[in-house]
Amino acid sequence: MQDSSDVDLQDQRRRHYRAFAIAVGCLMVLLGVTALAGWLLQVEIIISLVPGFPSMAFNTALCFVLSGTGLAASTLTGRRFRITATMTAGLAAAFAAARLVEIVTIGRTFHNVDVLISRFLVPPAFIVQIGGGMGPNTALIFLIANLSLLLSLPVERKSQVVQELTSYVVMTLGMIALASYVTDAEQGYRWGPYAAMALHTAVGMVIFGAGLLARSWWMQPANRAQIPLWIPAAVCFTGLLVDLYTPLGVANGILYVPLVLTALWFGNRNAPLFFAFACTVLLMLGFFAVRHDEATFWQEIANRTITAATLWLIAILVFYFMRNNYNLETERVRFGALLRGTPDAVVVIDDRGTIRSFNPAAESMFGYSPQDTIGRNIKMLMPEPYHSEHDGYLAHYRQTGEERIIGTTRMVSGRRKNGIVFPIDVSISTVVTGDTKIFVGIVRDISERVRQEERMKATLAQLEAYTAELERSNHDLDEFAYIASHDLKEPLRGLHNHSRFLLEDYEDKLDVDGVRRLNRLVRLSQRMEKLVNDLLYFSRLGRQQLAVKRTDISLIVKDVVATMELLLEERHAKVIIDGRLPDVVCDAPRLTEVFRNLITNAIKYNDKPAPLVSIGYLDRFVGQDGTVARNVFFVRDNGKGIPQEFHEDIFRIFKRLEKSQDSEDGTGAGLTFVRKIIARHNGDIWLESEVGAGTTFYFTLGRKREGQNAAA
Confidence bin at 125 (pLDDT 50/70/90): confident
Confidence bin at 306 (pLDDT 50/70/90): confident
The CA angle 140-144-147, to the nearest 5 degrees, is: 140
The pLDDT of residue 238 is above 70: no
pLDDT of residue 548: 79
pLDDT of residue 613: 93
The pLDDT of residue 22 is above 60: yes
pLDDT of residue 290: 60
- 405, 408, 434, 439, 689 from 431: Cα distances, Å: 15, 15, 10, 6, 75
Q: Residue 681 in contact with residue 690, Cβ under 8 Å?
A: no
The pLDDT > 70 percentage for the chain reads 77
Confidence bin at 637 (pLDDT 50/70/90): very high
pLDDT of residue 671: 85
Rounded CA separation 270/196 (Å): 34
The pLDDT of residue 191 is above 60: yes
The H or E element that residue 386 is part of is: helix 386-400
- Strands 574-578 and 612-622, how do they pair? parallel
The SS3 call for residue 575 is: strand
The pLDDT of residue 45 is above 60: yes
Backbone dihedral angles phi then psi of residue 324, each to the nearest 5 degrees: -65, -40
- Comparing CA positions, the residue from 489, 493, 672, 501 lying closest to residue 598 is 672
Q: Residue 382 in contact with residue 421, Cβ under 8 Å?
A: no
- Indicate the angle between helix axes 160-183 and 230-245, nearest 10 degrees: 50
pLDDT of residue 93: 92
By mean pLDDT, which of 312-316, 321-325, 445-449, 660-664 is the weakest?
660-664
CATH code reported for the domain at 545-700: 3.30.565.10
The pLDDT of residue 233 is above 60: no
By mean pLDDT, which of 6-20, 353-367, 525-539, 616-630 is the weakest?
525-539
The pLDDT of residue 247 is above 50: no
Q: What is the tens place of the pLDDT at every residue in 253-303?
A: 555 666 676 676 666 677 788 778 877 877 776 666 666 666 667 767 777
The pLDDT of residue 245 is above 70: no
Contacts of 181 (CB under 8 A, 6+ apart): 53, 188, 189, 199, 202
User: What is the residue type of 637?
Assistant: D
By mean pLDDT, which of 208-222, 246-260, 342-356 is the weakest?
246-260
User: What is the residue type of 467?
Assistant: T
Rounded CA separation 454/446 (Å): 12
- Comparing CA positions, the residue from 389, 370, 390 lying closest to residue 378 is 390
The pLDDT of residue 635 is above 90: yes
Q: What is the tens place of the pLDDT at every residue in 89-116?
A: 999 999 888 888 887 777 555 566 677 7
Query: Mean pLDDT, to the nearest integer, of 491-502?
Result: 77
Q: Is 172 left (phi over 0), alpha (psi -120 to 50) or beta?
A: alpha
Confidence bin at 66 (pLDDT 50/70/90): very high
pLDDT of residue 265: 67
pLDDT of residue 26: 94
pLDDT of residue 299: 67
Confidence bin at 634 (pLDDT 50/70/90): very high
Query: Mean pLDDT, to the nearest integer, of 198-217?
Result: 87
User: How are strands ordered across the β-sheet holding 436-445?
Assistant: 355-358, 345-350, 436-445, 421-433, 409-415
User: pLDDT: is 513 or 489 the higher one?
Assistant: 513
User: pLDDT: is 400 or 670 the higher one?
Assistant: 670
Q: Which CATH class is domain 341-448?
A: alpha beta
Kindly report the pTM of this predicted structure.
Answer: 0.42
Rounded CA separation 220/226 (Å): 13
Q: What is the tens place of the pLDDT at every residue in 601-618?
A: 899 888 899 999 999 999
For the chain, the average pLDDT equals 78
Confidence bin at 636 (pLDDT 50/70/90): very high
Query: Mean pLDDT, to the nearest integer, of 113-134?
Result: 75
Backbone dihedral angles phi then psi of residue 673, each to the nearest 5 degrees: -65, -40
Beta bridge partners of 412: 424
Q: What is the tens place of the pLDDT at every residue in 639-689?
A: 888 888 888 878 876 666 665 444 455 566 778 888 888 888 888 999 998
- One DSSP character per residue, 176-218 reads HHHHHHHHT-GGGT--TTSPPPPHHHHHHHHHHHHHHHHHHHH
Count other Cβ atoms within 10 Å, centred on residue 251. 16
Q: Residue 21 in contact with residue 72, Cβ under 8 Å?
A: yes
Q: What is the tens place of the pLDDT at every residue in 564-599?
A: 888 888 898 999 998 889 998 888 888 888 898 899
pLDDT of residue 557: 92
Rounded CA separation 323/310 (Å): 20
DSSP 267: S
pLDDT of residue 28: 93
Query: Mean pLDDT, to the nearest integer, of 393-414?
Result: 72
Rounded CA separation 450/221 (Å): 52
Contacts of 162 (CB under 8 A, 6+ apart): 148, 151, 152, 274
Rounded CA separation 89/82 (Å): 11
Report domain extents, the chain. 1-225, 226-336, 341-448, 450-539, 545-700
pLDDT of residue 661: 45
- Comparing CA positions, the residue from 107, 132, 163 lying closest to residue 55 is 132
Q: What is the tens place of the pLDDT at every residue in 136-189?
A: 888 888 998 999 888 888 754 455 667 777 887 787 778 777 777 776 766 667
pLDDT of residue 695: 92
pLDDT of residue 143: 92
CATH code reported for the domain at 450-539: 1.10.287
